Amino acid sequence: MRQNYTELSKKIRILTLELAHHARTSHTGGALSMVDLLTVIYGGDIINISPSNIDDPQRDRFILSKGHCCAALYSTLALTGFLDPQELKNTYGDNGSIYYTHCSHKVPGVEISTGSLGHGLPVAIGQAIATKAAKTNANVICLTGDGELDEGSNWEAILFAGHHRLANLCLIVDYNKIQSMGNVKDILALEPLDDKFKHFNWNVIRIDGHDFEQIENALRNFQAETTKPTVIIADTIKGKGVSFMEGQLLWHYRNPNDEELKIAKEELQ
């Protein structure tokens, strides 16, 4: 299993970089930081999402709220059978393609369109209420960035989910510690983040967001929880996997040129 995850995550990272290179888009670092989380969600057998059930009311829902990093989600979808990888690679961000460079619900497997921050979690809550009312076992997972938690709409939603004990809702925070203009701790500090969620009556799990076993365990922990919404605070590294991108604010904005793409791919392979 873990070897498969390793292989899949490498492929996702390479395709993500190829997309960024093709479309000359920003947000490379934040896309790479969440790849291992996406790898377990889409590449494992814990979460019930597959190309064959995208319209099934019983499916689990995954909502990417940090839609600016959709290159990693599209790459994951392409490498797990939802999309044609070649078509994605050749047309991402191009005129006339369905592949906007922020999340689009027109892309098969993508639940909602995002790009403006703080929208995903409230919609995820509506989904969680509906799937619960329909007496399905469907779970709803929403992934946000860390800087994204600056948005007040998230805290409205966090307060609501705790109050209503939405145990079928899981928030994953891709905590890569860097937001648009600098370090999260310098711009609008989130710590103590675990305690904040605890005080909002959430089940709080803190993990290394690049450790597949910890990610799997956290998702299983979420599925076993019956009285509270779960937050998985995943400590991650911006630009993870490419040495010259890791922890560098610059790669929030940059995309690799031909030479950098070549070096990055060699590193990952």
Partner 1 sequence: MRTAFIQQLIEEARSNEKIFLLIGDLGYNVVTPFAEEFPDRFINVGICEQNMVGIASGLAMNGYNVYIYSIGNFPTLRCIEQIRNDVCYYRGNVKVVSVGAGFAYGSSGVSHHATEDIGMMRTLPNMVICSPSDPSEARIITHLSASYDGCMYIRLGKAGEKEIYTQPYTMNIGDIHCYRESTGKSAIIASGSILHYAVNWVKDNNINTAIYSLPFVKPINREQLKALADKHTNIIVIDEHQKSGGVASAILEQLGDLYSEGKLQQFPKVHRLEIDDQFIYIAGNQQYLRDFTHLALNNTLFE
The answer to whether 129 contacts partner 1 (rule: CB under 8 A) is: yes
Residue nearer to partner 1 on the CB measure, 131 or 230? 131
Which stretches within 135-224 are classed as H helix?
152-163, 184-187, 193-199, 212-224
Task: Give 242's DSSP letter.
Answer: -
The answer to whether 57 contacts partner 1 (rule: CB under 8 A) is: yes
- Subset of residues 157 to 186 that bind partner 1, contact rule: CB under 8 A: 157, 159-160, 163-164
Judged by CB under 8 A, the residue of 11, 22, 119, 228 near partner 1 is 119
Task: Give 1's DSSP letter.
Answer: -
Judged by CB under 8 A, the residue of 54, 98, 130, 204 near partner 1 is 130
What region does 72 belong to: left with phi over 0, alpha with psi -120 to 50, or beta? alpha
Give the length of the chain: 269
Q: Is 93 exposed, middle or buried (0-12, 13-18, 19+ CB in 10 A)?
A: middle
Judged by CB under 8 A, the residue of 26, 80, 131, 144 near partner 1 is 131
- Beta carbon of residue 84, minimum distance to partner 1 (angstroms, whole number): 24
Q: Is residue 202 within 8 Å of residue 172, measured between CB atoms?
A: no
The answer to whether 107 contacts partner 1 (rule: CB under 8 A) is: no
Q: Is residue 242 within 8 Å of residue 264, measured between CB atoms?
A: yes
Q: Is residue 174 within 8 Å of residue 34, measured between CB atoms?
A: yes
Smallest CA-to-CA distance from 123 within 106, 110, 136 is with: 110
Judged by CB under 8 A, the residue of 128, 171, 190, 193 near partner 1 is 128
- Beta carbon of residue 119, minimum distance to partner 1 (angstroms, whole number): 6
Smallest CA-to-CA distance from 175 within 221, 248, 234 is with: 234
- Beta carbon of residue 145, minimum distance to partner 1 (angstroms, whole number): 17
- Beta carbon of residue 96, minimum distance to partner 1 (angstroms, whole number): 19
The answer to whether 98 contacts partner 1 (rule: CB under 8 A) is: no
Residue nearer to partner 1 on the CB measure, 130 or 249? 130
The answer to whether 33 contacts partner 1 (rule: CB under 8 A) is: no
β-strand pairing of 169-175 with 178-179 = unpaired
Point out which residues bind partner 1 (CB under 8 A): 57, 105, 111-116, 118-119, 121-131, 133-134, 152-153, 156-157, 159-160, 163-164
